[in-house]
């Protein structure tokens, strides 16, 4: 009877185990527990809303060569992370995003299909490796990542943003409209035969933006912004009327996307220079107009000051000598690691850019009581100085700038993202009631009833006035206009008058297009930020290794000095020459021969010692790595074992105590 009972209990336990697993698979298939510090494996709320936004299903096809990827060091883990991140979007989408994972094995139909759809194969000895993504909607729209860059250190940080951007583009098929305010002819000019002007081509960055946007130029004296704008780009504003400034204010307070390129000394400023008087460019006011709304938020450009930076200065030929000299007002801002990076690695706009050129940039200041959060995108090094605009603008004396340069030790902000949840209007009393600048000129020309026409828009808009923001504010402010020029990032590849393409030498253009591209997305897409890294370095171990490497360098330098002394002595003994260079002897004396052999022994011993030093210190580094790895991997099991032993001992003590009390 006992054996039968045991058998029945065993069968019931087995059945219960299977039932629990089936139930967990069916009901907990979407459950996730993310114990990482920054929630790497948890989709952000904004990304989840983007996943649920499509009106029609979005299909994601992930091509991943599983059989080949697993044999490539470091690739398999990142490929799994990409698939897991796509799976998160699918789970969060409520059926709006459909993920299909395809393994294109060598010489298969799936491989042919991957190539036909535009994916890039990575050839290996065993066949082509695919790791790319094709996204499509029901209207034949498609977005393609031909191959994920596994070597990209920012891959995991920006993968969520990249996928969300793809889904957002396919979900919003309408071509977005970008409003452009600028006195600079960024879109080019047609030829004017009457004035014998040949016209001009659009700036390259604007030409690229026009491929994705309907760009609408807004006159500086317009009464208001158009109602159908999806984004606003303001480049070097000059002479904007009060009505337009108020319209911009209300546009921003509604939480709509915008970017401002302001400059205290814009070299692109076309206003005021006489075409036949080249020297008229000197002494002009090339400063951008202030934006009242930004000032109301405590964000402004430092008045009449530009930033010089010795640590980022581009090198140019000197006019006085045959040498190069740092041009302190022309900067190449390079990306780096940690706080020393001049280009932010945390924002999707700049996270994957490496080298951004700027010219005579301004300085963004933030008031201590500003109601907004300002996150720097571009910064100078600590070898920076703020100087008067006139000192650095329009062909300054570079040698004089360098001679008087004194680093301030302060890092200046040159571009920033401005965020805020409840920010005030620059027009707390409502629309401006007075005439705008442009309208004042019309009034001076004798136009009748201008006062009535001035007041009409104000009265009409009073009922809808926003005294503070009605939605979160998220805009970008850049303290430089000149970086938009082609000269700062691209050069034409020409053969005579024919243009064959463009050679990009900096990321200034992509910086601008990234800003506009992000503005074109939904509000949720704009709020997405970089996530933490999955494959985090062991910082303490890296520091120890650097210290060990320093010790290697210091000790080997001592040995190298002994080797150099020995080799110098050998050279002297073997030369057999007088100071005049004449040969005095073909043979060494016994004493010289003995000294030569001693020097050769010293050189050999030094080289042996150097190898021993390098081997010993490298062995110490490897031992240190092994100890740290063992501690990291064994710590949790060891603690659990200690806890179990402690709990067992505690229970044994309690049982003995209970028995003693029972016997007593």
- Let me know whether 545 and 508 are in one domain: no
Query: According to the model, what pLDDT value does residue 632 have?
Result: 63
Distance CA 532, CA 423 (A): 29
Vertex 416: Cα angle to 465 and 362 (nearest 5): 100
If we measure between CA atoms, which residue out of 330, 305, 344, 365 comes closest to residue 483? 330
Q: Which of 39-48, 59-68, 555-564, 572-581: highest mean pLDDT? A: 59-68
pLDDT at 577 over 90: no
End of a domain among 170, 195, 212?
170
Instruction: List pLDDT tens digits, range 315-347.
Output: 887 655 566 788 899 999 999 877 789 999 889
What DSSP assignment string belongs to 51-106?
A: HT--SS-EEEEEEE-HHHHTTSTTHHHHHHHHHHHHHHHHHHTTTSEEEEEE---T
- Let me know whether 122 and 182 are in one domain: no
- Let me know whether 600 and 478 are in one domain: no
If we measure between CA atoms, which residue out of 466, 464, 516, 641 comes closest to residue 234? 516
Query: According to the model, what pLDDT value does residue 556 have?
Result: 62
Least confident of 75-84, 306-315, 567-576: 567-576
- Let me know whether 367 and 325 are in one domain: yes
Instruction: List pLDDT tens digits, range 356-397.
Output: 999 999 999 999 999 999 999 999 999 999 999 988 876 677
User: Is residue 661 domain-resident?
Assistant: no
- Let me know whether 177 and 162 are in one domain: no
Statement: the pTM of the whole predicted model exceeds 0.75: no
- Let me know whether 117 and 242 are in one domain: no
Least confident of 95-109, 229-243, 369-383, 533-547: 533-547
Mean pLDDT of the chain: 80
User: Is residue 533 domain-resident?
Assistant: no
User: Is residue 32 domain-resident?
Assistant: no
Query: According to the model, what pLDDT value does residue 302 have?
Result: 95
Distance CA 274, CA 515 (A): 34
Query: According to the model, what pLDDT value does residue 478 have?
Result: 97
Least confident of 97-106, 309-318, 427-436, 573-582: 573-582
Tokens of 321: 């000598």
Residues of the domain holding 552: 539-575+591-635
User: Is residue 487 domain-resident?
Assistant: yes
DSSP structure class, residue 536: -
Q: 38-65 burial string, b = 16+ CB within 10 Å, else e?
A: eebbbbbebbbbbbbbbeeebebbbbbb
Instruction: List pLDDT tens digits, range 285-315.
Output: 889 999 999 999 999 999 999 999 999 999 8
Query: According to the model, what pLDDT value does residue 584 have?
Result: 46
Instruction: List pLDDT tens digits, range 142-180.
Output: 999 999 987 787 788 888 888 998 999 898 888 899 999
Q: Indicate which CATH number applies to the domain containing 378.
A: 3.40.50
User: Is residue 569 domain-resident?
Assistant: yes
User: Is residue 62 domain-resident?
Assistant: yes
- Let me know whether 303 and 396 are in one domain: yes
Instruction: List pLDDT tens digits, range 222-258.
Output: 999 999 899 999 999 999 999 999 999 999 999 999 9
Distance CA 307, CA 408 (A): 11
User: Is residue 18 domain-resident?
Assistant: no
pLDDT at 205 over 90: yes
Selected residue with higher pLDDT from 264 and 565: 264
- Let me know whether 297 and 358 are in one domain: yes
List helix spans (H) across 254-356.
292-296
Report CA-CA distances (Å) from 249 to 169, 368, 375, 526: 28, 22, 21, 19
- Let me know whether 187 and 133 are in one domain: no
What DSSP assignment string belongs to 152-181?
A: -TTHHHHHHHHHHHHHHHHH--SPPEEEEE
User: Is residue 381 domain-resident?
Assistant: yes
End of a domain among 116, 139, 170?
170
Instruction: List pLDDT tens digits, range 415-457.
Output: 999 999 999 999 999 998 754 444 434 333 443 344 333 333 3
Considering its fold, how many domains does the chain have in total? 3
């Amino acid at each position: 009877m006992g054996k039968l009972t045991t058998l029945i209990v065993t069968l019931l336990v087995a059945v219960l185990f299977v039932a629990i697993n089936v139930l967990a698979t069916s009901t907990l298939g979407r459950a996730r527990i993310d114990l990482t510090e920054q929630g790497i494996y948890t989709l952000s709320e904004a990304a989840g809303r983007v996943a649920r936004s499509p009106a029609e299903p979005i299909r994601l096809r992930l091509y991943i060569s599983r059989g080949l990827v697993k044999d490539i060091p470091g690739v398999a883990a990142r490929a799994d992370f990409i698939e897991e991140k796509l799976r998160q979007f699918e789970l969060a989408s409520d059926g709006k995003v459909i993920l299909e994972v395809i393994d294109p094995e060598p010489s298969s139909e799936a491989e042919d299909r991957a190539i036909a759809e535009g994916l890039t194969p990575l050839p290996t000895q065993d066949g082509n490796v695919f790791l790319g993504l094709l996204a499509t909607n029901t209207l034949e729209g498609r977005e393609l990542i031909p191959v994920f860059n596994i070597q990209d250190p920012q891959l995991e940080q920006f993968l969520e943003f990249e996928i969300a951007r793809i889904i957002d583009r396919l979900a919003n098929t309408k071509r977005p409209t970008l409003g452009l305010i600028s006195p600079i002819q960024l879109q080019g000019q047609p030829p004017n035969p009457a004035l014998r002007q040949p016209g001009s081509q659009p700036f390259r960055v604007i030409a690229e933006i026009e491929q994705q946007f309907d760009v609408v130029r807004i006159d500086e004296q317009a009464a208001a912004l158009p109602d159908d704008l999806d984004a606003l780009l303001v480049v070097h504003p000059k002479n904007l009327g009060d009505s337009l400034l108020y319209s911009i204010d209300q546009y921003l307070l509604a939480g709509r996307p915008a970017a401002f390129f302001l400059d205290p000394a814009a070299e692109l400023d076309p206003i005021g220079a006489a075409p036949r008087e080249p020297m008229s460019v000197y002494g002009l006011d090339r400063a951008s107009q202030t934006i009242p709304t930004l000032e109301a938020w405590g964000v402004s450009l430092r008045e009449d000051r530009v930033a010089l930076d010795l640590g980022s200065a581009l090198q140019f030929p000197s006019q006085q000598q045959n040498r190069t000299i740092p041009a302190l007002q022309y900067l190449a801002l390079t990306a780096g690691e940690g706080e020393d990076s001049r280009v932010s690695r945390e924002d999707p706009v700049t996270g994957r850019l490496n080298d951004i050129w700027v010219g005579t940039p301004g300085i963004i200041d933030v008031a201590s009581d500003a109601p907004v959060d300002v996150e720097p995108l571009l910064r100078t090094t600590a070898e920076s100085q703020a100087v008067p605009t006139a000192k650095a603008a329009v062909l300054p004396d570079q040698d004089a700038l360098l001679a008087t340069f004194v680093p301030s030790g302060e890092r200046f902000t040159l571009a920033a993202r401005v965020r805020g949840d409840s920010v005030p209007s620059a027009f707390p009393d409502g629309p401006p009631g007075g005439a705008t600048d442009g309208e004042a000129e019309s009034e001076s020309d004798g136009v009748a009833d201008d006062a009535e026409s001035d007041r009409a828009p104000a009265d009409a808009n009073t009922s809808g006035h926003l005294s503070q923001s009605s939605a979160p504010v998220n805009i970008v402010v850049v303290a430089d206009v000149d970086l938009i020029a082609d000269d700062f990032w691209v050069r034409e590849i020409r053969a005579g008058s024919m243009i064959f393409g463009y050679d990009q030498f900096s990321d200034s253009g992509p910086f601008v297009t990234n800003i506009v591209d992000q503005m074109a997305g939904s509000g949720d897409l704009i709020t997405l930020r970089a996530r933490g890294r999955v494959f985090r370095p062991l910082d303490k171990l890296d520091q120890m290794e650097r210290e060990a490497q320093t010790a290697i360098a210091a000790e080997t330098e001592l040995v190298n000095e002994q080797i150099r002394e020995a080799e110098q002595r050998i050279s002297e003994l073997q030369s057999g020459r007088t100071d005049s260079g004449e040969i005095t002897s073909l043979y060494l004396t016994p004493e010289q021969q003995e000294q030569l052999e001693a020097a050769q022994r010293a050189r050999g011993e030094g080289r042996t010692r150097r190898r021993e030093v390098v081997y010993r210190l490298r062995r110490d580094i490897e031992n240190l790595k092994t100890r740290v790895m063992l501690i990291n991997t064994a710590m949790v099991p060891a603690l659990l074992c200690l806890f179990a032993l402690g709990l067992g001992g505690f229970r044994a003590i309690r049982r003995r105590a209970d028995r003693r009390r029972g016997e007593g």
